[in-house]
Amino acid sequence: MKNVKLTLEYDGTNYCGWQRQSNVITVQEEVEKRIGEIVGDKVDVIGCSRTDSGVHAKAYTCNFKTNSVIPPEKFYLVLNSVLPDDIVALNSKEVPIDFHSRFNSKGKMYSYTILNRSERPAINRNYVYQYGHNLDCDLMREAAKYILGTHDFTSFKSTGSKVKSNIRTIYEAKIIEDENKVIFYITGDGFLYNMVRIIVGTLLEVGEKKIIPLEVKTIVEAKDRTKAGRVVPAKGLCLEKVMY
């Protein structure tokens, strides 16, 4: 028995997230089905994260166990011959039998892309959130400092999620301006349900000067979802990388 780790890139537009569910199409279901066709047996693919409906990934990691004779380092090539166009395997390799894509993860980096103009996009419309208001990126950078470190992020978690603890650590929060785009890069040891999207929604309020940067510190300390900003749309969010 071998444990094979895959790195995937996918466009989440047409999927109801990663995790398999009844009566909807998910990335996990699609990948498991295609691997099953190759190895001739049912497989359970373990993902590094439960990305939501419409969220994308540039380097999503997952693993599965198999007795297949296909060399692990070549498996991704075979898999790509049967995957749909919006999912591609970037590489594959054998890992220790006890490796777990989720539990062995040390952290993740997400990006969120804002198209900061008044006109809606025709190109890349599924990968950016069009936002027409003027944004002060320096104020948002100042505010982002208050989410760094280890905190109880209850204020930044949507309801409907059951976790043992709302404490997470944010290692880095960067905001990059690229012509008419504003890109948020947030790296942490883990994230609560909709946490990145709520953080971005809150920072946008700072960027519009609806709240001052210091108020983000107050929002974190409040541990109250109603104090933070809205959940921005899923399509602007992308899992950039997973650290091990």
Indicate the annotated binding residues for substrate.
110
Please say if 52 is a catalytic residue.
Answer: yes
Q: Which residues of 158-184 are buried (b: 16+ CB within 10 A; e: fewer)?
A: eeeeeeeebebebeebebeeeeeebbb
Residue 200 CA, distance from chain mean position: 13
Cα–Cα dist 189/105, whole Å = 8
Hey, what amino acid is at 144? A
Are the beta carbons of 151 and 133 closer than 8 angstroms?
no
**Catalytic residue from among 41, 52, 86, 224:** 52
Identify any residues that bridge with 1 across adjacent strands, giving them in sequence order: none
Are the beta carbons of 143 and 206 closer than 8 angstroms?
yes
Residue 132 CA, distance from chain mean position: 24
Q: Which residues are annotated as a binding site?
A: 110
211: which 2 tokens?
């709240």
Active site residues: 52
